[in-house]
Structure 1
Amino acid sequence: MKKNTYKIYTLGCKINQYDSGSLADGFNAAGFKALAGNADLAIINTCTVTKTAHAKSRQMLKKAKKENPGAKIALVGCWPKVYKKSAADLRADYVYGAGQYDEFIKKITVDFRLEKTNASRAPRPALRGKSRYFIKVQDGCEQFCSYCVIPYARGKLRSRPKEEIIDEIVRATEAGYKEVVLSGIHLGLYGKEATRDTRRGARDGNLAELVKEILRIKGLGRVRLSSIEISEVTDDLIDLFARPRKEGIPYVCKHLHIPLQSGSDKILALMNRPYDTAYFRAKIEKLRKIMPDVAITTDVITGFPGESEEDFRTTYDFIKEVNFSRLHIFPFSAHERAPASRYPGQIGEKIKKERADKLRRLGYKLFREYKNKFAGRELEVVVGNLKNGRRLGKSEYYFDIELDPDLIRADNGDGLTGGIITVNF
Structure 2
Amino acid sequence: MALLNGKMTKIALQIILSVMILFSALTSPLKAHDIPASVTVHMYVKPEGDTLKLLMRVPLESMSELVYPTWGPGFLDFEKADAVFLDAAHVYLTEELKVYEEGVLIEDKTITAYRATSPQDSAIRSWDTAIENINKPPLKNDERLYYGQAVLDIMYEFPIKSDQSRFSIEPTLKKLATITNTVLRFIPAGSGERVFNYIGNPGVVELDPSLLHALYEFMELGFLHILEGTDHILFLLCLVIPARTIRELIPVITSFTVAHSITLISTAFGLAPQALWFAPLIEMLIAVSIVYMAFENIVGAKLKKRWMVAFGFGLVHGFGFSFLLSESMQFAGSHLFTSLLSFNLGVELGQLLILIVLVPVLNLMFRFFVAEKPGTILLSALVAHSGWHWMTERNDRLNEYVFIWPEFNAAFYAELMRWGMLAVIVGAASWAMYELAKYIERRTVK
TM range (shorter): under 0.3
Compare the two structures and name the one with the higher helix fraction: 2
Larger RCO: 1 or 2 (CA < 8 Å, sep 6+): 2
TM-score (norm 1): 0.24
